[in-house]
Structure 1
């Protein structure tokens, strides 16, 4: 949507994997959201793409396959105890990304927009197998001159990039920039790095 000059918005609900702040019970999904901002000609669209959970669900499976523990303070087991064991976390709950009420409330908004609003299930989502997604776009031309919008967008980005940097910080990245660079390296090399044990499990599944 952003590449076509529109402001793009995406909200995705998923089964119960994440505990709201103040509880250890999984109610939300990882509930990712994305916002795409079109930019002036020759510039890559600005795309925020994030889960509202402290880590992506795939990250738990990757840690399990690799036989490594999760970082501390990211998950509960099925009894509600903090855990670093990926297997226990899969039957328990993840925390929200900032471990506070702010991340929890953002996850709640995604749950409502991509669940209740679009008619998806909001209870027993793992068994219902019916969770929702909300996508919509806004044409910036409907709100004012697009040239002015692009000029001001670039001014904001330039101001952030040129801000006084903290010690040890060499560059201030925009949303999606790190991922875009990684994607280009993957395309150029023709290879995607996958954890060794997970690769083996995928090969075993493919072999039947």
Structure 2
């Protein structure tokens, strides 16, 4: 990425951004229903403050369509294993399209048997995972989603990027107006998308984000060669186990052989795992959870901010941005609207 990119933010209404993404995808041959699903996932990421998974991803997706790495007419195939497990061969479909199918299959099993587990292979980038686990939680289910990614993260005492950022999302249903618990986190210190954004402006990176080619802590985004896991050995252990389990169940490669979420030419070889659990089948109520969470929120000390529950801040930001618009880098908007054939004015 060049350091001359125009990353000055432009504020745009969420519906306008989604409309442009849909138009760009349809111009590339994507059926309307699939275009809408993919576009909503991108805009949701921007609404919740995860710009690295937002509409900035659209140009790569469009190139992958053009290169035949995303099949806009893909028909995923469900292979069932017993009563509560399944594998989905996405056949190079858009990631969100495959993910919503997996949610449906997993929830169907969970309603009957208490749990549903679905492994996905040959899907493109799922994008923001929070939307999937939140949907399960709003339906009264516990949702867990994880993915493998390209190797961008080093193990402790290593300089080789052999692990993915291997994100984990968990949604827990909660009675009441505050909404469900929604955790969505990478097991690396930060996403590579944020590093690339800082590199574009020549900005420094905070200590601990990653290391350079010689194994020294990186202070410049352009010199960061591999990310670090969060929490030292604990984050490393979690990342390793999530990656191994997800790839194992999906029957996909590990480590350096994972491709297809960052580049425009490689077939997708990463894996995704969706787990849905029905508390009702276990004969338990979720009402006590709400009281416990409220106890945490009210446990602040004088003069300090209120503790938050995972999902609180993103919901507030989403509401604010739905009302006031989403800040998006000007060059990103130019690219999106050019692809859409839309004359939207992105000039300062």
Q: How does 1:1-208 map to 2 (within 5 A)?
A: 1-89=136-224, 92-98=225-231, 100-123=232-255, 124-126=257-259, 129-146=268-285, 150-165=286-301, 168-189=303-324, 191-195=325-329, 199-200=330-331, 203=334, 207=338
Q: Please give the secondary structure, in 2, of the residue aligned with 1:117.
A: helix
Q: Check conservation: 1:121, 1:128, Cα contact below 8 A.
A: no
Q: TM-score scaled to structure 1, two decimals?
A: 0.85
Q: Distance in 2 between matches of 1:112 and 1:207?
A: 40
Q: Check conservation: 2:142, 2:172, Cα contact below 8 A.
A: yes
Q: Deviations over 1:132-174 (max 9, x none)?
A: 110010000122232xxx2220122122112242x65221111
From the two aligned structures, give the one with the greater strand fraction.
Answer: 2
Distance 1:128 1:28, change over 3 A: farther
Give the CA deviation at 1:128.
6.4
Q: Deviations over 1:28-75 (max 9, x none)?
A: 111110000011154411111111110112111111122211112211
Structure 2 unmatched runs, 5+: 1-135, 260-265, 340-348
Q: Distance in 2 between matches of 1:81 and 1:74?
A: 11
Q: Distance in 2 between matches of 1:155 and 1:125?
A: 42
Q: Distance in 1 between matches of 2:321 and 2:140?
A: 27
Quote the RMSD (CA, aligned, Å). Answer: 2.1
Report the number of matched residues: 197
Q: Runs of 4+ in structure 1 displaced over 3 angstroms?
A: 126-129, 204-208
Q: Please give the secondary structure, in 1, of the residue aligned with 2:253.
A: coil
Distance 1:178 1:164, change over 3 A: closer
Structure 1 unmatched runs, 5+: none
Give the CA deviation at 1:9.
0.4
Q: Check conservation: 1:5, 1:38, Cα contact below 8 A.
A: yes
Q: TM-score scaled to structure 2, two decimals?
A: 0.53
Q: Deviations over 1:66-112 (max 9, x none)?
A: 221111221112332321222222xx2101112x1111111112101
Q: Check conservation: 2:299, 2:306, Cα contact below 8 A.
A: no
Q: Check conservation: 1:7, 1:140, Cα contact below 8 A.
A: yes
Q: Please give the secondary structure, in 2, of the residue aligned with 1:181.
A: helix
Give the CA deviation at 1:182.
0.9
